[in-house]
Structure formats: C-alpha cells, structure tokens
Structure 1
Amino acid sequence: MFYKLKKKIGMKYREATPIQLLVAYYAIATLVTFFLLCLPVFKLPDAPKTTLLDDLFMAISTISVTGLTTFPIDQVYNQYGVILLEVLFQVGGFGVTMLATVAMVLTGRRIGLHQRQLIQFDMNQPRLSGMVKLVTSVFGLMLMVQLIFGILFSLYFAWNEIYPTFSEDIFHGMYISVSAVTNAGFDVTGDSIIPFRNDHLFLLIIMVLIVIGSIGYPVLTEIEAWLVYKFKYPGRRKFRFSLFCKLAVFFAVIFTVVGTVLLYLSENEGFKLRADSLSNFMSAMFYSVSARNAGLQINSMNDFNHTTLLMLALLMFIGASPSSVGGGVRTTTIGIFILYLYSFIRGRNNINIFNRRISQGDVQKAIVVVSLSTLLCVCAVFILSVTEDAPLLALVFEVASAFGTTGLSLGITESLSTLGKIVIMVLMFVGRIGMLYTLMFFIRKRDRDLSYKLPTEKIIIG
C-alpha cells in the first residue's frame, strides 16, 4: 500500500507544472510554520491562549512576510519565538526554492533541470540560464546586508543606551535589520520603530534596507555586475542594463517621489507628531517607501486623515518590484499598465521606452493582473463589509495591506470574524505568490492556438 501511495505521489509530482509545485511548496512551508508556531517552547509562560485559526493566520502572515497579526506578538512569543520568526522571514522573503537551492549547492548536490525551472518561476525570470548563480549571489548579498546592518544597529543602540543590556541591543538590532531587509512588518515591541521617529539618519538607513529587499533580485545582481565591470574595466564602453532593471528602478523612483509629494501635501498640518518641515518631509518619504511593502511605522495609522489613508492603501496595493521579497500587483506591472493607457490615448499601438519595445504578451499580462487583482480586492472588501463591523475605509486599508503583504492596519485585525480572517489569509497568500501565478496554478496544459482564424467583426465599445 505504501508503495502504491508513493508511486501515485510520484506520478502527480511529474504531471504537475512548475507553478503548481511552487504553490504546493509554499503551502507546505505554511503548514510547517503553523506547527512550529504552535509549540509552547516559543511562547511566553503566561501568554494568552490562541486559537488554531489565529496560529494559521500567523503562519501565513509570516511566510508571506506581511506583518498582520490577530494578537500582540510581544504578549505571546518569547525571545526564541522572535528568533524563529526571523528565520521564517528568510523562508518567506527569499522563497522556498532559493533556500533549497542554496542547501543543494552547499551540500554539493547536482541541480537538475526541474529544480532550475522551479527557481525560474519562483524568481519570475524570463530565462533559464544563470539561475543558480543568481540565487547564490542574492542569498549571499542579502545575508551580508542583514548581518552588517544588524551589527551597526546593535552598536547604535548600545551607544545611545536604548535598551538596558547589550544582549537586548543585539537582539533588537538584528531583528530590525532582518525585518527591514525582508520587508516583514511585524511589531515585536508594540511600538514598531516609533521611538526613532525623530532620528532622520536612522530612518534613511531603514529606507535603504527596505529598498534593497523590494527593488528586485535581478536589479541587485545587475548593480553588482555593473560595479565589478567598472572596477575591472575602467574607461570601457557603457555597461548595459536590462530593460527590467531600468523599469524596476524607474517606477520605484517614480512611485516613491509621487507618493512622498502627495503624502506631504495631504498631511499639510504636519503629520501631527512633527513640528518642522524637514520632519514632515521625512515622514512622507518614509511612508512612501514603507507602505509599498515593509509595513514599518513611526506613528499610529489613526493619526492620518482619510485622504492619506487612501493614498497609503493605493501604495500598498501597488507593492514592490517583481522577484523581490514584496507582494502586491508589483511596480513594473502597474507601470506597464500606465504606459499602455498613455500609448492608447496617444493612438499608438506599441509601448516604447528606453529605446526598447515592450512585447504584447507582457502588456496583456499586466492588464490581466491589474484587472483581476483589483477585482479580487473589491470582492474581498465587499465580503468584509458584510461580515465585519468596521468602517469601510478600515476594511479597504486592511485588504490592501494583506494583498500588498505590508502589515499596516487601522487596528481591526484582532476583531475580524472567522470568515474575515480567512479572506485576509487568502489575500496574503495570493499577494505573496502573485496573481499571475495564482491563475496559472489552475492551468494544467497550455491551450493550443487554432490553426485557422475566424472572420473578424467590429463591435461597439464605450
């Protein structure tokens, strides 16, 4: 019987597409995380009792590096639990296949074609070549950044006597570094980074770490290759960046600048906790960066007016760049969608940017992803408006935060009903996997194009 079961599982494994295997791996990682978070060794002795649904909610939020919780983390998990969360952030941020590949490289195991295909889909890459090099380079770079800035934060806390003991300085320094790089918005102290809201240098460093995690792994590797090229071959012809790298950086800058300006103008009374214009501008820029995925906050969300909250919800819906630790619709997807609208209004058939033409296939994917993501979030808001006793703006904010895997909230997460929690969990999982891959999960085989074309007939539009 065991042999037949093993054979059946093997057949299903061979028949599954890389997308289906990828989603299955994330589901398995969520179940393992759920089991670990239920263990008493990671919880405080006097921790309030949590339900299995709350633990599952926490597991999905951890693997998707979202940050939404139905209970205060500092009242439930001990230091071992927080360290476990930091380890799980790596699983959710880097991805299951990346960590599996790194383990195979370290143990000297051969990486076959099937594993490379999984890496390709998990990293959202157009080509199969260079996958292993990309994975190892990104993994080493991200760990190095977390370690270096974790040490710097620890020394900073010790120098300014932020915490009573040096061990606590190290504990919180490493956690903030890991949380910022992996864009995990979990609050383990109850105050997030509110105590540092007036420290502009600290906020700038946090923003840099958030960008490193959310800009996209291919961008980081291309920047690394550019630096090596400049060092080895000074004075030679210009290094050529890929179109994806250019678009990812371009739209990240655009959304950050536009978000900063709009948030600054919206909160023209001074972010309520600020007294000078520089602090107001820093607050606006920080939230323009953090809201698109990290979820770190420097004051309560209830301090903002409704216009600002809607802007933050839109930024959370946009999310980070593809092939990063972030979720949401993704910056390049929204960017291509905007470029398509602009080209259509101008009467142009093609989208040209940076002396390149974006393929029609990518344009179609962008339109489908934006449309279905919007539809999914609207349906989620509709369901929550029926099941939850909360203001509509709070529900919109919660849905955008879950889908964008951000973690910001207006404080309604703990009071969600059972159905409301399930809706948010689905949004977090889909936001981490991506809408396009979620759709492809249900496709077993590609539909073949017809060998003939039917007659075309015009219809009335608009």
Structure 2
Amino acid sequence: MNSSLKKIKLTPPQILVIGFAAIILVGAGLLTLPIASTGTPLSFLNALFTATSATCVTGLVVVDTGSTFTFFGQIVIITLIQVGGLGFMTMATLIAFMLKKRISLKERLILQEAMNQGSMEGIVRLIRKVIAYSLTIELVAAIIFSIRWSFDLGPGKAIYYGIWHAISFFNNAGFDLFGPITGPFSSLTSYADDFIVNVVSMGLIILGGLGFIVMADLMDYKKNKRLSLHSKVVLSATGALILIGAIVIYVFEYTNPKTLGSLNWYGKILAAFFQSVTPRTAGANTVDLGALRQASQFFMVLLMFIGASPGSTGGGIKTTTFTTLIGAMLAMIRGKEDIVLFHNRLGKDRILKAITLTMVALFLVIFVTMLLSTTEDHSLLMILFEVTSAFGTVGLTLGLTSDLSEFGKMMIIFTMFAGRLGPLTLAYALGPKAEKELYRYPEGKITIG
C-alpha cells in the first residue's frame, strides 16, 4: 500500500485543489460542532457552505455570522479566511520558516502555482514579503478600527471586532459580525457615511486585491525607481475601474431614496466609491444592494466578473486579463498586429491564456446561472448576481443566498471553489496530463465577423 502511494505523483494544481478541499472539510466539521453555534448545530451542508465561503474568501452566507456562531465558531471562520486568503501553502511556508525548515523544490513549484508566478525565481523571498506586508496592514487597520468602534461597542468588543474585520476585509472575504447589533445580514449599512470606517475598509479591500506582487513592487519602488509592467497594468486598471464604477453608481443611484438619495453629499460620494470598490471581490456593503436600480446591479455584475488582480486574495478573471482583452480589441480596431501596453508588446501565449480564461469563466457562470434559474424561484438578474458573486469570490448578494435550495447551495459551493482556485487551475488539476504534440497541422483560414 505504501509503495503504491509513493508512486502517485500529484501536480502543483492537483495539490492546491486537494489542499483547499481538505481545509474546507476540516472547517465544515468544526462548524457542525454544538460549541460552534449559539442555537441548534448547523447542518453539514450549511457548515460546508460557510467553510467554503470562508476558505475561498467569498463572504456569501446562508446564516448570519454574528448571530449564529459562538466565539469558537467565529474563530474557526476567521482562521479559514486568513488561511484561504493568503493560501494554505503560504501558511505552511510560514510554519516552515518558524521551524527553520528548508523549502523543497516541490514546495517551490506549488508556491509558484499558488502565487500565479511565471517562474520560481525569488518565490520564497516573495512569500516572506507577503506574510510581513499582510500582518502589518492587518495590524494597522485593526488598531484604527478598534479606536473607532470603542466609541460604539466598548474597548474589549471593539478590539475583537477591529482584529476580526481587518482580517476579513484585507482578505476580501466580506464576513462581518454586526448582525446582533444592526440586524442580520446588515453588513456595514449603519456606517454608510462614516469616513473612517469607509476609508479604512476600502483601503484594506484595495490593498488585498492589488496582489502581493504589486505590493512588493511598490515597497521596493524607492530603491528600484521603477515598476514592472505587471504593476503598471494592475494599478492603472484598478484605478480606472474604481473611478468609472463610482461615477456610474453615483449617477444611477443619486435620486434613489432607498440607497444614495437619503445621504448627504459626502455620504453619497463615500457610498458610491464603496459600492464600486466592494465588487472587486470584497463582499461588504454600506447600502441595501437589493434596493439598487437594476442598471446598477447589472453593472456590479460586470465589476464582479472582472474581479481583483493576480496573486491577490480576490477572484474574478483578474484586471490583467481584462486589460489584455481590451488591448486586443483596440489593436484589432486600429489594424495593429501587436498588443502594446506601456511600450511593451504582449506575447501571444499571454493573449491566448486571457481569452481561454475569460471563455471558461463565462461558460461556468452561464451554465450555473441556467441551472439555478430552473431550481430557484427568483429573477434571472438576482441569480446571475449570486453566481457571479460566487465565481468572483465577492460575497455580495441581493438576498438569494439564505433562500437557496440544497441543490442551489451545492452549485454555489462548487462555483466558489472554482472561482478561488481559478477555472484554469481546476481544469489542469482534473484534466489529463498534457503531452507535447509531435506534429503541427497546416494553417487554415476562416472568415471572422
């Protein structure tokens, strides 16, 4: 038996899939324990849904986190968020650092896959930076949150809430504990015009969604005096999407009395920016999303599908993929042969990967949406919003999550899992091993358009 197990060689994508699945199952088992819930213990399906949402840093919940879970259950959830956000291999590397163990070649290959890197060069150094930056950002945000909420909750609870929500928001999870205080599933709606809570939360979400590669690049900017092409694309795309998103939401919701209409002028601006930032895979909200106009809801679906950036705690097809597709479209319109970004030409392998990733993601979202439209008695936009939120590991909902059927919950669990790992990683893990082609077919031409 042992010899046969040794012969099993798992690829890095397969190890990532198995690792995340194992963490989810352990988390689900812990959340079914009576000590984890304030009332009746959770069913295994609801515990599995919650554990998947936490590990995949999504934020979709079938029960209110603050009202349903005890201190033990909340600690399990926030641990799953931290491990899932940074990646279980990053956490394993942290333990190896603490034990002064050497990182093997196999482990470096898995880290390369987990961080979406093109090579292993400097991967361990990057992981050290990831851990240091993440803990520092979470600590600073936790202190600010604690001071702000001490006026509302008292010192002890404010510190606990500060630490908990700093981890949740930086990892783009969107879980919150405000249910017992402001009502179940209320998120940050009671802080819609609170400058400190909004700015710190948005800062955490943006920093978590930029990706650790970009964060490391920014920290080294003073020394290197330059940014990589990847960082330039991520920063410009992120800034443009946030600004455009805020303008669109501000325009559509300005006169809506159920959302921005009831806020003062700076509250409108804060809320518009927050609702533009949070679809980038964060999951928190400061206005009732179900009360948004349908145009705003559909626009948020587009933002959720794009998602965050590679190597981050977020999901979606990623900002770099979206930028590559826009670049390809503009190059075709202009009659150019190459896609050029910041005076750099993109290789054809990058373009093909961007197209493949987008098409696989689109097929997944459409397929699950069609299935759920036959099993869930809700509008198509509501279902599409939920599925895209699950795929982008966003966690925003129009109120469908708690009404899902058992089949619906299982489909959303699968979608969250696929979205966190990435559809291509999942396909590589489940598909047959690629073999090098020994010959090429002659080139043919077809008419396009």
What TM-score, normalized by structure 1, do the two folds share? Answer: 0.92
Offset, 1:458: 2.4
For each residue in 1:152-171, what CA deviation from the matched residue of structure 2 results, as whole angstroms up to 9, or x when unmatched? 2112222xx201x3211111
Structure 1 segments unaligned to the other structure (5+ residues)? 230-237
Q: 1:269 aligns with which of 242, 249, 255?
A: 255
SS at match of 2:84: helix
Once residues 430 and 398 of structure 1 are traced to their aligned partners in structure 2, the CA distance between those partners, rounded to angstroms, is 15
Structure 2 counterpart of 1:17? 11
Structure 2 counterpart of 1:216? 211
Structure 2 counterpart of 1:395? 383
- Contact (CA 8 Å) 1:295, 1:408: kept in 2 or not? yes
SS at match of 1:257: helix
Structure 2 counterpart of 1:86? 78
User: Is 1:337 the counterpart of 2:325 in the alignment?
Assistant: yes
Q: Letter of the aligned partner of 1:184 in structure 2?
A: A
Offset, 1:49: 4.2
Structure 1 counterpart of 2:190? 195
Structure 1 counterpart of 2:414? 426
Q: 1:320 aligns with which of 291, 308, 311?
A: 308
User: Is 1:349 the counterpart of 2:337 in the alignment?
Assistant: yes
Once residues 430 and 300 of structure 2 are traced to their aligned partners in structure 1, the CA distance between those partners, rounded to angstroms, is 32
For each residue in 1:162-205, what CA deviation from the matched residue of structure 2 results, as whole angstroms up to 9, or x when unmatched? 01x32111111112211111111113222312222111233112
SS at match of 1:210: helix
Q: Letter of the aligned partner of 2:215 in structure 1?
A: L
Offset, 1:108: 0.9
Once residues 199 and 275 of structure 2 are traced to their aligned partners in structure 1, the CA distance between those partners, rounded to angstroms, is 12
Paired residues for 1:181-330 under 5 Å: 181-190=170-179, 191-227=186-222, 229=223, 239-269=225-255, 271-272=259-260, 274-330=262-318
Q: Letter of the aligned partner of 2:414 in structure 1?
A: V
Offset, 1:241: 1.6
Once residues 42 and 442 of structure 1 are traced to their aligned partners in structure 2, the CA distance between those partners, rounded to angstroms, is 34
Once residues 176 and 201 of structure 2 are traced to their aligned partners in structure 1, the CA distance between those partners, rounded to angstroms, is 15
- Contact (CA 8 Å) 1:291, 1:315: kept in 2 or not? yes
Once residues 321 and 264 of structure 2 are traced to their aligned partners in structure 1, the CA distance between those partners, rounded to angstroms, is 36
Paired residues for 1:163-182 under 5 Å: 163=153, 165-182=154-171
User: Is 1:366 the counterpart of 2:360 in the alignment?
Assistant: no
Once residues 289 and 272 of structure 1 are traced to their aligned partners in structure 2, the CA distance between those partners, rounded to angstroms, is 16
Flag the 1:391–1:454 CA change in 2: closer, same or farther, 3 A: closer
Paired positions, count: 441
- Contact (CA 8 Å) 1:86, 1:175: kept in 2 or not? yes
Q: 1:458 aligns with which of 440, 445, 448?
A: 445
For each residue in 1:33-60, what CA deviation from the matched residue of structure 2 results, as whole angstroms up to 9, or x when unmatched? 111212222222xx14432111111111
Structure 2 counterpart of 1:131? 123
SS at match of 1:251: helix
Once residues 415 and 261 of structure 2 are traced to their aligned partners in structure 1, the CA distance between those partners, rounded to angstroms, is 32
Q: Letter of the aligned partner of 1:162 in structure 2?
A: D
- Contact (CA 8 Å) 1:48, 1:76: kept in 2 or not? no
SS at match of 2:230: helix
Instruction: Please give the root-mean-square deviation of Cα atoms over the aligned residues, in Å.
Output: 1.5
Once residues 333 and 78 of structure 2 are traced to their aligned partners in structure 1, the CA distance between those partners, rounded to angstroms, is 47
Structure 2 counterpart of 1:121? 113
Offset, 1:429: 0.4
Paired residues for 1:19-34 under 5 Å: 19-34=13-28
Paired residues for 1:61-76 under 5 Å: 61-76=53-68
Q: Letter of the aligned partner of 1:388 in structure 2?
A: E
Structure 2 counterpart of 1:37? 31
Once residues 390 and 71 of structure 1 are traced to their aligned partners in structure 2, the CA distance between those partners, rounded to angstroms, is 19
SS at match of 2:403: coil
Offset, 1:425: 0.7
SS at match of 1:414: helix
Offset, 1:355: 1.3
For each residue in 1:264-303, what CA deviation from the matched residue of structure 2 results, as whole angstroms up to 9, or x when unmatched? 1111315345333332222111111111111111121122
SS at match of 1:162: helix
- Contact (CA 8 Å) 2:59, 2:283: kept in 1 or not? yes
Offset, 1:448: 1.2
What TM-score, normalized by structure 2, do the two folds share? Answer: 0.95
Once residues 445 and 76 of structure 2 are traced to their aligned partners in structure 1, the CA distance between those partners, rounded to angstroms, is 59
- Contact (CA 8 Å) 1:327, 1:404: kept in 2 or not? yes
Once residues 113 and 146 of structure 2 are traced to their aligned partners in structure 1, the CA distance between those partners, rounded to angstroms, is 37
For each residue in 1:323-355, what CA deviation from the matched residue of structure 2 results, as whole angstroms up to 9, or x when unmatched? 000011111111111111111122222101111
Offset, 1:390: 0.8
Q: 1:162 aligns with which of 135, 139, 152?
A: 152
Q: Letter of the aligned partner of 2:393 in structure 1?
A: T
Percent of aligned pairs sharing the same letter: 33
- Contact (CA 8 Å) 2:193, 2:271: kept in 1 or not? no
Structure 2 counterpart of 1:234? none
Q: Letter of the aligned partner of 1:25 in structure 2?
A: G
User: Is 1:77 the counterpart of 2:58 in the alignment?
Assistant: no
Once residues 23 and 66 of structure 1 are traced to their aligned partners in structure 2, the CA distance between those partners, rounded to angstroms, is 17
SS at match of 1:441: helix
Once residues 206 and 73 of structure 1 are traced to their aligned partners in structure 2, the CA distance between those partners, rounded to angstroms, is 18
Range 272-281 or range 216-225, more displaced: 272-281
